Amino acid sequence: MKSESDPNIKAEIFQKMVLDVVDRWCPVKSIRVPLNKKPITTPLIEKLKRAKMRAYRKGCVTWKYFSKVMKLQLAKLQVNQAEKNINNVTTGSKSWWHSVKQVTGERKSTGSAPYINIDDKWLDNQQFCEELNKYYVEIAGDVALSMPEIPPDNQPIALVTEWEVYHHLIKINTRKSTHSADYPSWVTRNNAEILAEPITDIINSILKNDVYPKIWKKADISPIPKVSELSAVMEKRCTPTF
């Protein structure tokens, strides 16, 4: 890999080699995990369910009526539950994002909400996500980017050493997730003494050629609010208009 001069080629070869080893010794396997989720129900729904079963066993056509009423009650209960999850969000980014994951269905154990009530208007999950994206686009437009000064061409470039890279690799936070197509962060940390040499060569190649590998630019980004009371900010800056 040292014979190559392009950082993009070096990074691609390095990632392919690591992924091949990880796939060989740590293959991905599918397992079934019980959610242990309690069904959404009420005494009325349970009563309708029993009436439906009795009518079905007796061969009465009224079981269709009980089934229809039960579905309407379930839909109404799900909508009320979704509205309760949205309107009862406590302050703080952790609680707010917990509710967002419930709405978008990312938390499968708690279920997903079909509709959200904002200003007496019902929004589905896609519309809610669009409003959320508009809010973060508005915030990002207010941020003034400060670019560092570029050193002159005649100034020598300070290269990194393998020892410096090793000390950074052993401090990687393994609780942080990587890109979906990348290998886990614990692989780099647990094998820092082996991966320090090729990573150092790639970093120095980046500094010499002034080219950052495209494969290292890919990331799955989850925006995290840095305010104490997000609900107040949303009301002031991102109130949906219809």
pLDDT for 180: 74
Q: Please indicate whether residue 193 or residue 4 has the higher confidence score (pLDDT).
A: 193
pLDDT for 44: 86
pLDDT for 220: 73
Angle, helices 192-209/162-169, rounded to nearest 10 degrees: 120
Q: Domain ranges in the chain?
A: 43-144, 149-212
* pLDDT above 90 for 113: no
Q: Please indicate whether residue 229 or residue 139 has the higher confidence score (pLDDT).
A: 139
pLDDT digits (tens, 9 = 90+) for 3-35: 567 899 999 999 999 999 988 888 877 766 556
Summarize the confidence of residues 150-170 as an average pLDDT.
81
Summarize the confidence of residues 123-132 as an average pLDDT.
73
* pLDDT above 90 for 92: no
* pLDDT above 70 for 100: no
Instruction: Out of 62-66, 91-95, 200-204, pick the least confident.
Output: 91-95
pLDDT for 39: 65
Q: Please, what is the average pLDDT of the chain?
A: 75
